[in-house]
Amino acid sequence: MPASPVSGATWQRRLHEIAGERLGLKAIALLIAVLLWLVVSARQPTEGFVRVRVSPTLDSTLVLLAGTTEVRVLVAARAADLVKLAADPPVVRRSVGGDAPDTLVLDLTPADVHVPPELADHVRVLDVQPRSIVLRFETRASRRVPIVNDGRVVVRADSGVRTSADVAFEPQAVRVTGPRRVVRRLQAIHPYALTIAMNDTMPHVAELDTAGTGVQVQPAQVKVQWHGATAAASADTPVAPKP
């Protein structure tokens, strides 16, 4: 016999009651299941490409002229570790000696890739792309260059008149080190701006301006003094009588 309309309505009402019972507990159970799935998925081994930093160890006479080609490595790791490698990428380290040519083709292997120590036990490097990179160098040079005031350090008189000629530097020259072509073209090093009061006999410290030169200077600071003070000091120095 076909089910009566009353019996069908009873079953529908019962199904609605079952579906609506303890909704809070059901939502919590679903959330826990999703979290467990995420945790298990993050621990499952997988493969993926990650970016690598190229950091060659150069001889002190070499300067790297340009950046390197982007390098990626294929690694086998947990999904969670792939995320960590994206934030703290592996490093390719190779030593380059002073006898290297100006253009060097460097072959790369998985053994050249250094993974962060905390991930070394869980990450395996499978491949490197590309298999070689080109490094371009320039040889470093060093020579002494004079310090030229060029109006940077001025002496202020009581009348307000300023002059830049009456200053003396100690030392008068510094050693500059940098790319050979840059050092060869460099004619002088200038100090940063400084004002000295006339009749001030105390020596002052002047910072040397190397911004945009591409070189390092030694020392990076020099003494600067009003020329009248040095002349007065020379005049006050007693002269030994001739025998």
3-state secondary structure of 66: coil
Give residue-wise pLDDT tens across range 60-101. 778 787 767 789 999 998 888 888 998 899 999 888 887 788
C-beta of residue 157 within 8 angstroms of C-beta of residue 198: yes
Looking at the DSSP bridge assignments, the partners of residue 137 are: 64
Q: Do 133 and 60 lie in a common domain?
A: yes
Give residue-wise pLDDT tens across range 125-171. 999 999 999 988 878 888 999 999 988 998 887 766 666 667 899 99
Q: Please tell me the distance from the alpha carbon of residue 51 to that of residue 72, in angstroms, as a whole number.
A: 5
Boundary (domain end) residue, out of 112, 139, 166: 139
Q: Please tell me the distance from the alpha carbon of residue 128 to that of residue 113, in angstroms, as a whole number.
A: 8
Boundary (domain end) residue, out of 84, 119, 139: 139
Domain of residue 186: give its range: 147-236
Helix (H) or strand (E) holding 31: helix 23-43
C-beta of residue 87 within 8 angstroms of C-beta of residue 51: no
Q: For residues 82 and 241, which has the higher predicted lDDT (pLDDT)? A: 82
Looking at the DSSP bridge assignments, the partners of residue 51 are: 72
Q: Which two tokens stand for residue 4?
A: 């009566």
Q: What is the CATH number of the domain that holds 152?
A: 2.170.120
Q: Tell me, what amino acid is at 30?
A: L
Count the alpha carbons within 13 Å of 183 in the hemisphere toward its beta carbon.
Answer: 20
Q: Do 151 and 115 lie in a common domain?
A: no
Residue 71, pLDDT score: 92
Residue 236, pLDDT score: 45
Q: Do 55 and 123 lie in a common domain?
A: yes
Q: Please tell me the distance from the alpha carbon of residue 8 to that of residue 145, in angstroms, as a whole number.
A: 103
Cβ-count burial 72-108 (b if 16+ within 10 Å, e if not): ebebebbeebbebbeeebbebebebeeebeeeeebeb
Give residue-wise pLDDT tens across range 179-192. 888 888 899 999 99
For residue 171, whether the previous peptide bond is cis, meaning omega lies within 30 degrees of 0, is: yes
Give residue-wise pLDDT tens across range 44-57. 678 889 999 988 88
Q: Do 90 and 163 lie in a common domain?
A: no
Domain count, the chain: 2
Distance of CA 153 to the CA centre of its chain: 33
For residue 203, whether the previous peptide bond is cis, meaning omega lies within 30 degrees of 0, is: no
CA distances to 35, 122, 123, 210 from 45, rounded to whole Å, are 18, 9, 9, 51
Q: Where are the alpha helices (DSSP H) in the chain?
A: 5-20, 23-43, 79-87, 180-185, 227-236
In a domain? residue 152 = yes
Q: Do 123 and 59 lie in a common domain?
A: yes
